[in-house]
């Protein structure tokens, strides 16, 4: 029996999301092995390596990139390192999975995406929500024509608690940090580009966010090519947990995805019915999506197929976030210049 071809992967960044990808690649993703992990905090890398039996742990990501056995890297480090690491990985001929966002500057993103394309290495961006089984099923239903012509898209996307103000300042704000996922989701669900965006928001409850000049509550309306409309509402703080719902409505029907509960019990007494809150946050809600996105990355490299989420997808979501931010500031609809 010939050996199954495995993809050998190095992890750059051993924090929460890097650790999660390492666990999934070790235990649940088929045809993959993790050969090395790098983190600027060496003990963090070492602990992860010890726990999962990863041969190499290092402080210096160049060791990972220079390892000829490593065929691909998963970039899970701080956002402001993404573009530089992509360029370095391209230079070493490694295929790349990169957490989102690629960056906040359009020119830099274009340069990195272009470099990967020219070098012929795969570049997949970590829009993990596309791999959520329910959202993926919704996309299948839309793509199969079962909702007919798309007329309306509704997305609710609310975090359980706001990030610290310093994060908000660095992140580009709610529309580039949170809503960027939702802009990608609109594109994913409909297969359509947005032509115009109108965002209106307020800092209703978080003084730190207000001081940073950002909003904590926002409604965004998109006009899509062909005429469909999308409305997205975002909040930095849903006390009941992570709220992630989508809906696509068209001439032949509607598909909607609600929040899976943290468990499925119902308790009934003289006061009424009680049941569980939604799964608390992204690690719980998107547990399976992280497995599936990494499986898709491994498969696309091994089969030499295009990645299911491209650098272009990463770029467009940032363009939308920037147009929405401009609309928010200027109080008027803004045309989107999709390149």
Interaction with a copy of itself in 95-134: which residues (CB under 8 A)?
133-134
CB of 192 within 8 A of CB of 151? no
Closest CA to 308 of 224, 212, 171, 184: 184
Q: Which is nearer to a copy of itself, 21 or 122 (CB)?
A: 21
Region near a copy of itself per CB under 8 A, out of 91-99, 166-174, 200-208, 302-310: 200-208
Assess 167 for contact with a copy of itself (CB under 8 A).
no
Backbone angles phi, psi at 136, to 5 degrees: -65, -40
Give 185's DSSP letter.
Answer: H
Of residues 312 through 331, those in contact with a copy of itself by CB under 8 A are: 331
Residues contacting a copy of itself: total by CB under 8 A:
78
Spatial CA neighbour of 314 closest among 114, 89, 78, 71: 114
Contact 234, 174 (CB under 8 A): yes
52-91 footprint of a copy of itself as x/- string (CB under 8 A):
xxx-------------------------------------
Q: Is 202 in the site for a copy of itself (CB under 8 A)?
A: yes
Whichever of 148 and 306 has its CB closer to a copy of itself, that residue is 148
Cβ atoms of 250 and 149 within 8 Å: the answer is yes
Site for a copy of itself in 252-311 (CB under 8 A): 252-278
All residues at 6 or more sequence positions from 238 whose CB lies less than 8 Å from its CB, including other chains:
158, 159, 160
**Nearest CB to a copy of itself, comparing residues 89 and 244:** 244
The span from the CA of 129 to the CA of 292, in Å, is 10
Site for a copy of itself contains 195 (CB under 8 A) = no
The only residue of 27, 68, 118, 339 in contact with a copy of itself, by rule CB under 8 A: 27
* Contact between 192 and a copy of itself per CB under 8 A: no
Query: Residue 170 CB, nearest distance to a copy of itself (Å)?
Result: 24
Query: Do residues 46 and 55 lie in contact, with contact meaning Cβ atoms separated by under 8 Å?
Result: no
């Amino acid at each position: 029996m010939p050996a199954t071809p495995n993809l050998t992967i190095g992890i750059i960044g051993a924090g929460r999301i890097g650790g999660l990808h390492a666990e999934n690649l070790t235990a649940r993703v088929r045809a993959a092995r993790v050969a090395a992990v790098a983190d600027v905090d060496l003990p963090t890398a070492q602990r992860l390596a010890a726990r999962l039996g990863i041969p190499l742990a290092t402080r210096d990501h160049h060791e990972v990139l220079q390892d000829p056995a490593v065929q691909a890297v998963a970039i899970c480090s701080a956002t402001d390192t993404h573009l530089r690491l992509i360029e370095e990985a391209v230079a070493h001929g490694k295929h790349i999975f990169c957490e989102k966002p690629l960056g906040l500057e359009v020119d830099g993103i274009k340069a990195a995406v272009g470099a990967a394309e020219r070098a012929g290495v795969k570049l997949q961006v970590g829009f993990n929500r596309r791999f959520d089984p329910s959202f993926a099923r919704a996309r299948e239903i839309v793509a199969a024509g079962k909702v007919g012509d798309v007329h309306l898209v509704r997305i609710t996307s609310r975090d359980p608690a706001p990030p610290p103000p310093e994060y908000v300042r660095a992140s580009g704000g709610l529309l580039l940090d949170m809503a960027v996922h939702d802009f990608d989701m609109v594109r994913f669900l409909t297969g359509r580009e947005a032509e115009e965006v109108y965002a209106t928001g307020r800092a209703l409850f978080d003084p730190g966010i207000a001081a940073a000049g950002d909003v904590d509550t926002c409604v965004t309306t998109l006009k899509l090519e062909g005429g469909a409309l999308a409305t997205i509402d975002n909040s930095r703080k849903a006390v009941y947990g992570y709220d992630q719902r989508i809906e696509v409505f068209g001439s032949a029907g509607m598909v909607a995805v609600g929040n899976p509960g943290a468990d499925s019990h119902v308790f009934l007494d003289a006061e009424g019915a009680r049941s569980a809150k939604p799964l608390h946050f992204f690690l719980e809600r998107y547990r399976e999506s992280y497995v599936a996105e990494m499986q898709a990355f491994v498969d696309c490299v091994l089969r030499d197929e295009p990645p299911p989420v491209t650098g272009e997808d990463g770029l467009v979501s940032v363009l939308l976030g920037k147009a929405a931010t401009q609309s928010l500031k200027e109080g008027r609809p803004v045309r989107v210049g999709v390149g």
